[in-house]
Chain A
């Protein structure tokens, strides 16, 4: 598979997955399940410097570059819906090249009708997390 498309193909999968749900309740139940299924973050990574502070919920994010030059993200949140959304972000972006992450267009949130979670009024740390993920992409691609 073309590396450039991995982010988009994963987004398209997520969009298809959410197409199955007819109402908001099913959609949120699914997000909550995804949140619950997210493997716990390593305690050593759940530190202050990885904390993205929002007004309402806290998000932790760490990023590592593997030997293949791919960025591996791990993340967590104290709020379960935020955690579900964070897990989706990690699923979509983790394992891609830094330059791909830096340039990624994250259209899936709008398509699955959850773009309001990225608006500044939500202050849930998610918008800051997306910025931070792309920032890691930029930093790692500048290094390589």
Chain B
């Protein structure tokens, strides 16, 4: 089983591109199984930051000099890389934000505030990360509209009949994650989008966990908004994307005011605003972050996201099989379609204790509620241990996790 996809996928060669994987933690080689929280960075991304800051840093879009031109070209070049990779029809549909959270808040603050009314319904799901719940709760409190929640089945997949039933409420907006950060469930977002559109709803997809792990074709999905973060897909922190269909972006009022997002500013006449995406990019943007994100996308493309996804699927199946050999271990999230995330609990142990002892062995996992408290409540647990995988994860690391767990459990029970 170990290294079964070796013929097509050289994980050791990929690992050599990630300098951080060479380090030791607590006297052990780092085993990084927390990529769903944030992935590590390949040399191409690290180099792009050094290169930009050492050679062509400048403000963009308005300088009358060579550096400004070079920085602007790199910045807009990254936008085009993102457009092409995610197959948006126009680069003006790619708005740079600070991350998926920021993207969702942008939609809540502009489209939501100007389109939702007190009798509107927002439809969410039990699977959502707090970042796809709380912005809507804040907005719903402000407007006085309702939030309805689609339930899940016991395997952690969405309850489609409940989804259909709740669509009969004609929600103005339907928001769901592409991939659950806690359970790894991959939602059939194309079908969900189509069903929601038939009900007349606008659709927002939280793609934070999907962008690094599966091919996202925005025109094929036909969703209205898609949000993701750069740092979960091998890019820098503090950068992300909001994709929005151009007609929606054009109709939305601006969000944050400042430089760049205006067409003309006057005290005598009404101030007018720039066209998308600039209308939503007030102030000097995260130029180095955008360049790094472009490099990260190019890196994923160079490996092939389908190859990465196949590797992660093999890892996930292997992890399920190996973890279940541990007595009293229960896996949460066993949907048929799953990304590289495995959440579990072990009888007689607390997730925080397991996390602490694994850390002593150099194994990085996440423990707790994973910013999905409503999901934890639905599962009847207060938290889990979560191991999550990426392009650089190996089968041997999963073996080490299992051995580490066995050692920790012996100490704790």
Contacts and interface: CB of A to CB of B under 8 A. Distances in A.
B411 A57 contact: no
Nearest to B27: A24
A80 B360 contact: no
B368 A123 contact: yes
Nearest to A35: B353
B351 A80 contact: no
Interface in B20-66: 26
Q: How large is the interface on B (under 10, 10 to 19, 20 to 34, 35 or more residues)?
A: 10 to 19
B360 A57 contact: no
Interface stretch (A25-33, A62-70, A129-137): A25-33
A32 B411 contact: yes
Interface string A52-93: 000111100000000000000000001111100000000000
Contacts of B26: 24
B87 interface: no
A117 B411 CA distance: 19
Contacts of A99: none
Interface string B1-35: 00000000000000000000000001000000000
A32 B412 contact: yes
B333 interface: no
B360 A24 contact: yes
A79 B368 contact: no
Contacts of A58: 382
Contact of A25 (B355, B382, B411, B412): B411
Most chain A beta-carbon neighbours within 10 Å: one of B350, B351, B367: B350
Contacts of A79: 350-353
Contacts of B352: 56-57, 79, 81-82, 124
Contacts of A80: 349-350, 353, 412
Contacts of B360: 24-25, 28
12 contacts: A24-B26, A24-B360, A25-B411, A28-B357, A28-B411, A29-B411, A55-B383, A56-B383, A78-B382, A79-B350, A79-B352, A123-B368
